[in-house]
Amino acid sequence: MNYSKCRVCKEPAIIDLPRHNANFCGEHFIQLCRRQVEKAIKDHRMLDPKDRILVAVSGGKDSLAVWDLLIELGYQADGLYIGLGIGDYSPTSEGYAQRFADQRGLKLITVDLRQDFGYDIPTASRATGRVPCSACGLSKRHLFDSVAMENGYEVVVTGHNLDDEAAVLFGNTLRWDIDYLARQLPVLPATPGFPKKVKPLVRLTERETAAWCVVRGIDYLLDECPMALGNRHLAHKNTLNEVERQSPGAKALFYLNFVEKMAPLLASHGQEMVDGLGTCDSCGRPTTGTTCAFCRVVATSSAHEPVPVELVLSKKARAAYLSDRQET
């Protein structure tokens, strides 16, 4: 692929970036990504060089790119992989995460929902009546927090990119969901019992993190989680991609201006939400009730017979999942 010349060195470009109105060679594209991540870290005071950082790693492009970037920038960052028990997607994704860590001599902590807690996401979805992504999000959030706190990590890093954040913002705005809007920030400060949470890739698009991995020779899992197909998040991403195609840069303005101009107005609202927490009688983590939502999911799901992933996919997602498996 030749996108004419790099804006910086005039050598052949490997990528065109309409929102920057420019093309870049591999070397200068890498420099641009590094600068964008450094800017996000600095502007939002995300990380300190002394921090012990835990990166939530899924084996996909974003989490491996953010881990790679942080190591390259000189931070101390270990990985956390959570085995969700989603058909063959989970063991495959774990393989990518483990190989990335092994090849670079990095530490990867692994938690497996089935082995460690007696359930998996398809079973939790069926047993609790939650949609799979809700059972999954709740489990992951609890484990990111608890593993970080138990192992002395000050910060949890996730690989959410600009497309992810803009799509979530779009969904929250369509509903004017103030509780979620108030918490949709690139940094959530540490509070009693919770680590700081940061998203250093908020200035990079999905296409840019994929290109980072290609240029850096990072082998990542291309497949999306089978549960993602047909969900609202993906639909919002497609809508915003269409807006971006018509007006390059619109996605970044939508999200980054929200963070700069709107989020400060909602700050006090976010604070109200973390006040008044008690302690879970089962795991000891902070909760608003007597038993936290995670422990309730564990109790209900671990008592349920295992449910195969096909049974909890939407009709469309199941057809795609089964046809993928027939082809391979």
Q: Give the CA distances from residue 244 to residues 199, 205, 241, 248, 251, in Å, rounded to whole numbers and listed in that order.
A: 22, 11, 5, 5, 6
For residues 112-131, which are near ligand Q46 according to CB under 6 A?
121
| Separation of alpha carbons 157 and 37, rounded Å | 13
**What is the β-pairing status of strands 278-279 and 286-287?**
antiparallel
Q: Give the range of 21-29, 95-103, 181-189, 206-214 binding Zn ion by CB under 5 A.
A: 21-29
Q: How many residues in the shown chain lie near ligand Q46 by CB under 6 A?
A: 8
Stretch (H or E) spanning 17: strand 15-17
Select from Zn ion, ligand Q46, none the partner in contact with residue 313, using the beta carbon and a kind-dependent cut-off of 5 to 8 Å. none
Among 228, 243, 274, 299, binds ligand Q46 (CB under 6 A): 228
Output the smallest distance, CB 133 to ligand Q46, in A. Answer: 3
Is the Cβ–Cβ distance between 151 and 136 less than 8 Å?
A: no
d(CA 290, CA 317): 37
- What would the two tokens of residue 149 be? 């706190």
136 scored as a contact of ligand Q46 (CB under 6 A): yes
66 binds ligand Q46 (CB under 6 A): no
Site for ligand Q46 (CB under 6 A): which residue of 73, 133, 250, 266? 133
Q: Smallest gap, in angstroms, from Cβ of residue 9 to Zn ion? A: 3
Rounded to 5°, angle at Cα 198 from 33 and 91: 85
30 binds, among ligand Q46, Zn ion, none (CB under 5 to 8 A by kind): none
Assess 132 for contact with ligand Q46 (CB under 6 A).
yes
280 binds Zn ion (CB under 5 A): yes
- Residues in contact with ligand Q46 by the rule CB under 6 A: 121, 132-133, 136-137, 225, 227-228
